[in-house]
Chains A and B, each alone.
Chain A
Amino acid sequence: MGSSVAGAAFAQSALAESSANAEDGYGMLVDTTECIGCRKCEWACAQENKLSDKPVEAFEDPSAFEEPRRMTADAYTVVNRYDIPDQPAQHTFVKAQCMHCLRPACVSACLVGALRRQPSGQVTYDAWKCMGCRYCMVACPFQVPAYQYDNALTPVVSKCNFCFNRVQNEGKMPACADMCPPMCLTFAKRSELLRLAHQKIEANPDRYLDHVYGEHELGGTAWMYLTSRPVTELGLLEFDAKAIPDRTEPMQHAIFKMGVPPMLLFGLLTVAMKTFEHKEEE
C-alpha cells in the first residue's frame, strides 16, 4: 500500500535533514547602514543568472525606489529604499533576496525534492524535477520564490540560488557580493559572520540595534542583516525562532510514522467489516 512506502520515505528524509543541519554552511551579512542603494548587485545578479541583458545604466533609474519592490522571475534580488521619518535627506537601503533558511519551508513543502538545502548552505532548485505546483511559494514565509507565469510550457520557480555553481565549482564569491564593497555585503561561513556581526554591534552600539536579523528567525537563515532601525521599518517581517517545518513535520510524522497508524486503521476496519458480516449471517 502507498502508506507503508511513504513511511519509509519519511524515515529517509528525516535522516538526511539532520545531517545537513550539522554542517556550517556559507552565509552573507548585509550591513544596511553601509548600503548606498547603487543597485549594482541587482545588475550583477541579472548578468550572472542571465535574467536580463539590461545595461548597468538601466539599474541607475532612481524611480525604482518610489515603491518597495519584490523579487520577480526576472530579478532574484531587489534593493528598496526606506525613508527615515524625521530625517528626509537620509535613507536606509535594504537588499532583498532568498534568505537561504537553515530549515527552509520551501524544501519541506516540495513534494518531489526539486528544492534542496545543500550541506554548504545554499537552497537550490532543480527545474527538471519540478511539477510547478507552487507549494514552495505558499510555504515561503519571506515570500521569495517567484514564478515564470508567462512561460506556457517550461516555467520555473525563480529565486536566488546563492550562486551555488559559482561558489562551489568556480571558487568565487556570489556575484552580488563580488560587485559590492565588502563592508556592505560580507560573504563567509555563517558562524564567522555571526561573530563579525556581534563584534560590529559591540564596537558601534550607537550605529546598530542589538539584533542580527536572521540569527534566530525561523530557526536561522544564511543571509543575515544588521540594521540601525527596527526591521519592521525596513520592509522585513518579524518571525518567531521556531522553524516552519517544525510546525508541520512532527504532526505529519506522528500520524504517518512508518505507515503504522494507517495500517492500524486498515486492520480495525477489516475486523469491523468481518464482525458485522458475521452478525448478519446469524
Chain B
Amino acid sequence: MSHAGHPISVRRGLLTPGAAVLAGLALIGLGAAAYRFLFGIGAASNLSNQYPWGIWIGIDVASGVALAAGGFTSAAVAHIFHQHKYEVLVRPALLTAMLGYTFAVLGLFADLGRFYNIWHPMIPMMWQGNSVLFEVAMCVMVYLNILYIEFLPIVCERFAGRVSLPGPLRALNPMVERALRIAQATLGKMMFLFIVGGVVLSCMHQSSLGSLLLIAPYKVNPLWYTPVMPMLFLLSAFSAGFAMVIFESLLSAWTFRLAPETKVLASYSRFLVVFLGVYLVAKGTDFVIRDAYHSLLAGGIAPVMFLVEICAGIVLPLLLLVSPRVRGTALGLFAASGLVVGGVLLNRVNVFLVAFRPPYAQTPYFPSLVESLITLGLISALVLTYRVFVTIFPILPAGECVPARELAAEDIPAETEPYAA
C-alpha cells in the first residue's frame, strides 16, 4: 500500500463544539442505560407483550448492521476484486463497520432481558439451527471478531515500535510491542482468509436479518412481508454499504477540512447505481407479483412510509446518480448517498416497527424517552469514537488542504468514549 494518498491520523483537536454535544448525548445515554439496567426493560421502555421489539432492535441492531455494510462491500471491491483506486475508502469503511457492529451489540445488551446470557449461542448443546436468529447471532459474533482482526494492521502501523503506555502500565510496553510484531508478521499471510470470510459472513447475516420477520406472517404488513425479504435485505445492505462509504467520506472530508475524494467517489458511485437499480427492480417485481398494491389503499401511516421509502430512498437517488452532472460534484454525491442511507434506515425501521402490527395489539408501539435516549446516546458515542479513532489511527487519506506538520504524540488526547468503560 504505497499510494499517494496513504492514510494518516487527523491532526485536528477533539475539543470542538460538535464533539462536546456528542459527548453530552452519550453521557445522557449512559444515564438512561443505567436506569434500564437498574429498573428493568418495563420501566425504561414502551415494549409490551404485543410489541416485544422496539427501536433497540429496529434501529440499534437492524439499521446499525445495515449501515455498517460498507465494511464488507469496500473490502470486496478493493481487496477481492483488486480495484486499488478505491483503497482510500477501505479504512474509513472498516472503522465504521467495526464501530457499527460493536455498538449494535452494545444496543443488544440493553434489549436482552438476560443480557448476561448473551454467550449462550456459543454453547453447542444449546444450538438451535432452525432459528434464523441463531444464524444471525453466530455470523455477527464471528464477523465482529474478523473486523477487529482486520483493524489490527492499522494498530500495528500506528504503534509498532512506538508503544509507550503511561504510568504503571509502562512495564507492559515490551510485551505489547512483541505482540504487535507477531501480529505484523503473521497477519499479512492470513488476511485474505479474514477478508473473504468477512464477505461471506456478511452476505449470510445481512440476508438473514431479512428472514427474521418471515416467522411472523400474520403480523407484518403485506407492503413489506414477502418470502424474498432476505434477498431484499441483502441487496439493500449492498446499497447501504456503498452509499455509506460515499456519504461518510465526504462528511469526514468537510469535518476535518481535507480534500474530498470527489473523483474516486464519483467513480465508486457506479457500484451504488448498479446495486440500487437491482434492488429497485427486485422490490418492484416482487411487489407486482404479490399484488401488494392493494395494501397501498389501506389507511394509516404504513402506505405513506412505504412510498417515502421507495421514492426518496431509492428512485430519487437513482435519478440523481445517473446524471453525470450530479455525480461529478461532491454535493450531488453527498445528497444522493445520504438519501440512500436514509432510505435503507427507513426500510429497517419500517419492517421492524411500522409494518409490525400484531392483531391483538390495541395501541401501536412508540418508543419511550429513556429508550430513545439510549439509542441516541449509542449513536453519539459511535460518532465520537469514530472521531477519536481517526485522530489516533491512520484512517483517512492525507488531504492536500492541511499544511504538512509532523504529528506530535502530545496532540493525541487520551480521551475515550464513555461507553467503553
Contact = CB atoms under 8 A, between A and B. Distances in A.
* Same assembly: yes
Interface of A: 1-3, 5-14, 17, 70-73, 105, 108-113, 129-135, 137-139, 141, 143, 145-155, 237, 239, 244-245, 247-249, 251-252, 255-256, 262, 265-266, 269-270, 272-273, 276-277, 279-280
Where chain B touches its partner, the secondary structure class is helix
B130 A17 contact: yes
A138 B211 contact: no
Contact of B131 (A111, A130, A148): A111
Given A113-B128, A248-B214, A273-B79, A150 B43 contact: yes
Interface residues of B, number: 73
A242 B144 CA distance: 37
Given A113-B127, A141-B218, A248-B214, 8 more contacts: A10-B129, A111-B128, A147-B49, A152-B38, A153-B40, A237-B359, A251-B230, A252-B208
A9 B201 CA distance: 17
Q: Which of A2, A3, A252 has the most CB of B within 10 A?
A: A2
Contact of B40 (A135, A155, A245): A155
A244 B219 CA distance: 12
B196 A252 contact: no
Interface string B62-89: 0000000000000010011110100000
Given A147-B113, A266-B196, A245 B50 contact: no
A218 to B, nearest CB: 9
Nearest to A146: B49
Contact of B80 (A111, A146, A152, A273): A273
Given A2-B138, A129-B120, A155-B113, A135 B133 contact: yes
Contact of B197 (A1, A110, A137, A138): A1
B128 A13 contact: yes
Contact of A265 (B130, B195, B203, B217): B203
A143 B356 CA distance: 13
A111 B196 contact: no
Contacts of B134: 6, 9, 111-112
- Nearest first, the 8 closest Cβ-Cβ pairs linking A and B are A132-B113, A149-B42, A9-B129, A152-B40, A10-B129, A134-B52, A111-B134, A137-B52
Interface of B: 37-43, 45, 47-50, 52-53, 76, 79-82, 84, 111-115, 117-118, 120-121, 123-124, 126-135, 137-139, 141-142, 192, 195-197, 199-201, 203-204, 207-208, 211-219, 227, 230, 356, 358-361
Contacts of A105: 215-216
Contacts of A111: 121, 128, 131, 133-134, 137
A256 B204 CA distance: 9
A5 B359 CA distance: 38
Nearest to B126: A112
Contacts of B199: 265, 269
B192 A256 contact: no
B129 A155 contact: no
A111 B360 CA distance: 25
Contact of A130 (B114, B135, B201, B361): B114
Contacts of A276: 80-82
A10 B359 contact: no
B211 A248 contact: yes
7 contacts: A111-B128, A143-B360, A155-B113, A155-B114, A252-B135, A262-B200, A270-B192
A266 B197 contact: yes
Nearest to B360: A143
Contacts of A130: 113-114, 117
B196 A269 contact: yes
A148 B41 CA distance: 9
A39 to B, nearest CB: 20
Q: Which of B207, B215, B218 has the most CB of A within 10 A?
A: B215
Nearest to A240: B217
Contacts of A8: 129
Contact of B130 (A249, A277, A279): A249
Given A6-B134, A273-B80, A276-B81, A251 B214 contact: yes
A255 B81 CA distance: 24
